[in-house]
Structure 1
Amino acid sequence: MEAVKKQTRSFEDGKNGNTEEQKALNEEITTLKSKVKKLESECEAKGNKEKTLETEVEALKKQSEGFLMEYDRLLEDNQNLRIDAAGIPVERPVSVPCNLRAVTWTKPIEGTVCLNMDGSLMRNNSGDFILGFYGAAVVPNILFAELMAVLHGLQICWENGFRKIICLSDSLQAVSLIRDGVSAHRRFANEIFSIRQFLSRDWEVVVEHTLREDNTCADVSAKMGALADSPLMKITSPPSSLAMPLLADARGVVFIRE
């Protein structure tokens, strides 16, 4: 009789153990289902956000096409002779300035990395984000910030094995100083000398001036740098504030500069 009782208790203990395991398993399944539902919601939200960005960029592109048509019309009005009511050829007056320029982001050739500054990012010829960086200026001087952006950008490009670079800055002064060089007594001579040393390495680097309208993404990064605590913050994926400008540049959206 005692043996039967022991066997019964053993069976009940096993049954209770299985119940506890089943309960734990059900809880784990419930947790997993909750995670899956959350991921599905996040994916749906991300998809909606991407669709919104696509729509906004398409609208911006159509607007830029309208600007281009108006730009072409203004040029034609300014260049061609018109006939007045008396049949006499006269130049038709134009009510708005005609020194307009159509500006788009300068795409590099295939195999070349485009480095835009002064807040800085690197992109390929498709406009895809590769790397970026920003930071607070150690010296409160715009020229110093521009020069340090070039120096940091070249360092990061070299460290990551990029050997064909087009370096674009909207600071004409910085570009001129880098190209021409300066005397050892000039302010920021050390930074300029360091940049020129980098340029003399065994790689292909072109430093060019670009217009501010052609440098929107770098300006967004520069604004991030103004709020930073560190002189150099590297990023491997673009922040949300760069999503729209990156897409607009990649799609060839045109901006009009007067």
Structure 2
Amino acid sequence: MGIGSVGGLFCMNNGSWISGFNKTMEIADLLQTEVWGILLGLRLAWENGFEKVLVQSDNKEAIKRLNATKSDSDPCILVRTITKLRNRGWMTDAQWIPREVNKFADRLAKLDNLPNYDVIIFSQPPECLLSLLDFDLLHSL
């Protein structure tokens, strides 16, 4: 096991910032890291009363497993946990996106908060990422 981090952001349909998160954790592999990030993001979305959530990830295997018809019997307990969470009274979808489109979430995951293992919530985009967010907003229009 190694130490890694996960991160993500919540945006409106037009790409404007709602909030973001980051967490350092012990991880085994890239798929596990991605699925942990998705689980954490969905838990935060549920706790904050979001009714519609589009999960986007640049990890094809994670999205494939989350969208599988038998995801509730996936060998990975994290995938099964996400499936149970997605089956609550809200709408969720999971979609693969290219890595180039996922730069902001990737940078949030890589923010250095070692050795803090708590979830860090960003109500505003971290200043070091503002130019990247502006770039993403311009190119999503």
Q: TM-score range by the shorter chain?
A: 0.7 to 0.9
Alpha-carbon spacing, 1:133–1:225, altered in 2? closer, same or farther (3 Å): farther
Alignment of 1:100-139 (within 5 A): 119-139=7-27
Alignment counterpart, residue 29 of structure 2, candidates 116, 141, 144: 141
Alignment of 1:1-258 (within 5 A): 119-180=7-68, 181=71, 183=73, 186=75, 189-224=76-111, 227=114, 229-230=116-117, 232-252=119-139
Structure 1 counterpart SS, 2:108? helix
Q: Distance in 2 between matches of 1:163 and 1:183?
A: 25
Shift of residue 127, structure 1, vs aligned partner: 2.0
Alpha-carbon spacing, 1:223–1:213, altered in 2? closer, same or farther (3 Å): same
1:32-76 CA-partner distances (Å, limit 9, x unpaired): xxxxxxxxxxxxxxxxxxxxxxxxxxxxxxxxxxxxxxxxxxxxx
Structure 1 counterpart SS, 2:38? helix
1:172-201 CA-partner distances (Å, limit 9, x unpaired): 0111111222746x3xx2111110001111
Structure 2 counterpart SS, 1:201? coil
Structure 2 counterpart SS, 1:130? strand
The number of equivalent residue pairs is 134
Alpha-carbon spacing, 1:226–1:147, altered in 2? closer, same or farther (3 Å): farther
Greater helix fraction, Structure 1 or Structure 2: 1
1:106-153 CA-partner distances (Å, limit 9, x unpaired): xxxxxxxxxxxx520001123221111111132242111100111111
Q: Distance in 1 between matches of 2:73 and 2:47?
A: 28
Off by >4 Å, runs of 4+ in structure 1: 225-228
Structure 2 counterpart SS, 1:165? strand
Q: Which amino acid aligns with 1:193?
A: R
TM-score (norm. length: structure 2):
0.85
Structure 1's unaligned 5+ residue stretches are 1-117
Shift of residue 236, structure 1, vs aligned partner: 1.2
Q: Distance in 2 between matches of 1:207 and 1:121?
A: 14
Greater strand fraction, Structure 1 or Structure 2: 2
Q: Percent identity?
A: 28
Structure 2's unaligned 5+ residue stretches are 1-5
Q: Distance in 1 between matches of 2:95 and 2:112?
A: 22
Alpha-carbon spacing, 1:221–1:210, altered in 2? closer, same or farther (3 Å): same
Contact persistence 2:15–2:140 (CA under 8 A): no
Q: Distance in 2 between matches of 1:220 and 1:201?
A: 30
Contact persistence 1:119–1:133 (CA under 8 A): yes
Q: Which amino acid aligns with 2:104?
A: C
